[in-house]
Chain A
Amino acid sequence: NAGVTQTPKFQVLKTGQSMTLQCAQDMNHEYMSWYRQDPGMGLRLIHYSVGAGITDQGEVPNGYNVSRSTTEDFPLRLLSAAPSQTSVYFCASSYLRTSENEQFFGPGTRLTVL
């Protein structure tokens, strides 16, 4: 069991560029989520999904898109990167179809937007 995996580990973008952060889990979890972590602000929910084909917005969704075509994968797309999106991004999953249960986090992606 690899658990929750994320790629890439590090990424540098220029303002206006787009990219996709990859997230996958092999635990057959229904619930998956994306968070960003900024100094002094904890983890903030960007988007979440409760199953294939079902996604919804979290606290800070602007500038990000998600899709969930399979149970395993939950990619996060930055449409037009801005310096304010410089952050560490964590993907997480939970075996229940809600967030009211332990979330298993991936190793994170450190993104810098110049």
Chain B
Amino acid sequence: GENVEQHPSTLSVQEGDSAVIKCTYSDSASNYFPWYKQELGKRPQLIIDIRSNVGEKKDQRIAVTLNKTAKHFSLHITETQPEDSAVYFCAASKGFKTIFGAGTRLFVKA
């Protein structure tokens, strides 16, 4: 079946450094690629998304890139802050179904 692989599972960075999380998806018909942030004990919340007709999108310190040929997309966080510490999930959507990656736990050390 369809799947989304996410790496790394854990990422530790120093405050101010950049963090990169990578995902690959199996279904080439996927059209929509959201990223969700989940703080401990909280609900997932959308932080950025990209559609299949766009290669890159940026929102302040967060950017996402998509390579449809390679079926690969990445989240980039620059100038990381302690409040960026959370679990990040990538996902790939097609029609009525969304497949999530297993998540990356990001630690930002002050």
Contact = CB atoms under 8 A, between A and B. Distances in A.
B96 A44 contact: no
B22 to A, nearest CB: 15
Contact of B31 (A48, A58, A59, A100): A100
B98 A99 contact: yes
Q: Chain A: interface secondary structure?
A: loop
Nearest to A100: B32
A42 B95 contact: no
> Which of A43, A90, A101 is the most central at the interface, judged by chain B CB atoms within 10 Å of its CB?
A43
Given A31-B96, A100-B32, A101-B32, A42 B101 contact: yes
Where chain B touches its partner, the secondary structure class is strand
Interface in B77-110: 89, 91, 93-103
B96 A50 contact: yes
Among A43, A50, A100, max chain B CB count under 10 A is at: A100
* Interface size class, chain B: 20 to 34
B105 to A, nearest CB: 10
A41 interface: yes
A98 B95 contact: yes
Interface residues of A, number: 25
A105 interface: yes
Contacts of A41: 102
Nearest to B43: A105
* Interchain residue pairs A-B with the least CB separation, the first 5: A42-B100, A100-B32, A105-B43, A43-B100, A99-B98
8 contacts: A48-B96, A48-B97, A50-B96, A99-B95, A102-B34, A105-B45, A107-B42, A108-B43
